[in-house]
Amino acid sequence: MSKLKDVSLVWYRNDLRIIDHTGLIKAIETNRQVVAYYNFNPELFKLSKWGFKRTDRFRSKFLIESVIKLQEELKKLNITLIIDNCSNEKNLIETIKKLNVKEIFLQREWTRDEVNEENKIFDNIDSNIKINYSFDQFLYHPNDLKKKIDDIPNVFTLFRKKCEKDLKVRILKDNPCKLESKNRLPKEYKIPSLNDLGFKDFNIDKRSAFPFNGGTKSGIDRINNYFWETKKLSFYKNTRNGLIGIDYSSKLSSWLANGSLSPKMIYWEIKKYESQVIKNQSTYWLVFELIWRDYFKYISMKHREKIFNIKGILNRKYHWDNSKTGVSDWVNGKTKESFVNSNMLELKNTGWMSNRGRQNVASYFTKELKLDWRIGAAYFESILIDYDVHSNYGNWMYVSGVGNDPRDRKFNVKWQSEKYDPKMKYQNLWLNG
């Protein structure tokens, strides 16, 4: 890596795209050499204190595919994506020094691991290097909120109504300009395989409701299919509690989670659909889900470390169990409830589970088995393709009674099974498949 003139560095994390990317656009506008960076931190593929790999094979596969596509897209812009696999900050610090980086562009994060990583980096580089943060992971930009983050209400409905009344979704960023070929670094960087990350190759289960690949193009293809080719969006509100197949819901959460798609990309496509096809409760409901996603991000921004605390954001004390047998039975689909078991087997075999399933298995874990909700959250973090720290821990707190549910409800699993799987099609698919 030779010493260059001045460089602007785009540090990629959960923003794996070139479209609607503020940091990339601004880096290009600096008129410096532009270089991108991504780190497959080995710590993220090791066992957590709960006994699960922090990132298991399904999410790893989707991540690898997403970064491969990002590298290809950046290459078309003549921008090199440096691939790292360092468990500490030294490689990035060294890269910043060797490349003579003057500005760093990155998406703002505020949860524990990301902040710790940033601090270690920024405390050990030249203080004159300018740090530029962006907030493209939001539907409603934080700077547009009329209230301070600390005033975010602990009830979703109040937040939603305020946003819908007072805020507008910003327009999409322009597509980035292609740079001259001399912008690229001479070295090509290899992206690790599943084997490199400690996993065996595997085939996608034929029963999977999420048989999709990672990367922006696949996400856009899914939007085109779900919106324009099949018009399934028109019926989303009626089908969203489905359990089998790819079309009961949009399935866009995985691309949103690692930033291959931005929420604004989806929102403005919904608005286009409403103007050209139909505007109804279903189209609104997908926007509604995007607002929920925003809400959990703002809740985690407000409460920070509390989202990982056993007492949650409400500081409520429950007597939680940590039975290894109880956890194992739940993970492996060996509980007393077949509806829970079928959902957990789907998750174990595919890395995916419906929203209806997630609510039921989490409620059963916390309210029936009375197991420490953080263990369930850690398992979801490990295995869900669409894992997002804010939504995951927000939802687990919500279901367990230490979060944003004012009613502290408990799901009746048998009733839920009878309502949403009356003919046992779903349960038979996974229990007998």
3-state helix, strand, coil in the chain (%, to 5): 50, 10, 45
Q: What is the mean pLDDT of residues 37-55?
A: 96
C-beta contacts of 345-349 below 8 A and 24+ residues apart: 345/430, 345/431, 346/207, 346/209, 346/430, 347/383, 347/384, 348/383, 349/205, 349/207, 349/208, 349/430
Sequence-distant (≥ 6) Cβ neighbours of residue 104 within 8 angstroms: 8, 9, 11, 96, 129, 130, 131, 132
pLDDT band at 408 (very low <50, low <70, confident <90, very high): confident
Place of tokens 């949403």: 420
Considering only CA atoms, which of 343, 355, 61 is closest in space to residue 218?
61
Considering only CA atoms, which of 348, 374, 366, 380 is closest in space to residue 413?
366
Handedness of CA 73, 79, 83, 89 (dihedral sign): negative
pLDDT attached to residue 148: 81
Sequence-distant (≥ 6) Cβ neighbours of residue 432 within 8 angstroms: none
pLDDT attached to residue 124: 96
Alpha helices in 252-372, H assignment, sequence order: 253-257, 263-276, 281-303, 324-331, 338-350, 355-363
pLDDT attached to residue 250: 98
Share of the chain above pLDDT 90, in %: 95
pLDDT in tens, 215-257: 999 999 999 999 999 999 999 999 999 999 999 999 999 999 9
Distance from C-alpha of 411 to C-alpha of 416, rounded to nearest angstrom: 7
Distance from C-alpha of 39 to C-alpha of 62, rounded to nearest angstrom: 15
Handedness of CA 288, 289, 293, 295 (dihedral sign): positive
Q: Which domains does the chain have, with CATH numbers?
A: 7-136 (3.40.50.620), 216-304 (1.25.40.80), 309-431 (1.10.579.10)
pLDDT in tens, 145-204: 977 888 999 899 999 999 999 999 999 999 999 999 999 999 999 999 999 999 999 999
Average pLDDT of the chain? Answer: 96
pLDDT band at 324 (very low <50, low <70, confident <90, very high): very high
pLDDT attached to residue 163: 94
pLDDT band at 3 (very low <50, low <70, confident <90, very high): very low
Check if the beta carbon of residue 75 is closer than 8 Å to that of residue 31.
no
Check if the beta carbon of residue 363 is closer than 8 Å to that of residue 330.
no
In total, the chain counts a number of residues equal to: 433
Considering only CA atoms, which of 185, 6, 191 is closest in space to residue 78?
185
Look at residue 5 and tell me whether its pLDDT is greater than 80: no
Residue 5: Cβ-neighbour burial (10 angstroms; 0-12, 13-18, 19+): exposed
Q: What is the DSSP letter of 174?
A: P
pLDDT attached to residue 26: 98
Q: What is the DSSP string of 324-347?
A: HHHHHHHHTT-SS-HHHHHHHHHH
Check if the beta carbon of residue 395 is closer than 8 Å to that of residue 358.
yes
Q: Which of 30-39, 133-142, 289-298, 407-416 has the lowest mean pLDDT?
A: 407-416
Look at residue 291 and tell me whether its pLDDT is greater than 60: yes
pLDDT in tens, 300-319: 999 999 999 999 999 999 99
pLDDT in tens, 334-391: 999 999 999 999 999 999 999 999 999 999 999 999 999 999 999 999 999 999 999 9
pLDDT band at 288 (very low <50, low <70, confident <90, very high): very high
Q: What is the DSSP letter of 209?
A: S
Distance from C-alpha of 429 to C-alpha of 143, rounded to nearest angstrom: 47
pLDDT band at 4 (very low <50, low <70, confident <90, very high): very low
* CA-to-CA dists, residue 293 to 219, 317, 344, angstroms: 17, 26, 23
pLDDT in tens, 62-99: 999 999 999 999 999 999 999 999 998 999 999 999 99
Look at residue 15 and tell me whether its pLDDT is greater than 70: yes
pLDDT attached to residue 1: 39
pLDDT attached to residue 133: 98
Q: Which residues pair with 36 in a beta bridge?
A: 10, 81
pLDDT attached to residue 196: 97
Distance from C-alpha of 44 to C-alpha of 31, rounded to nearest angstrom: 34
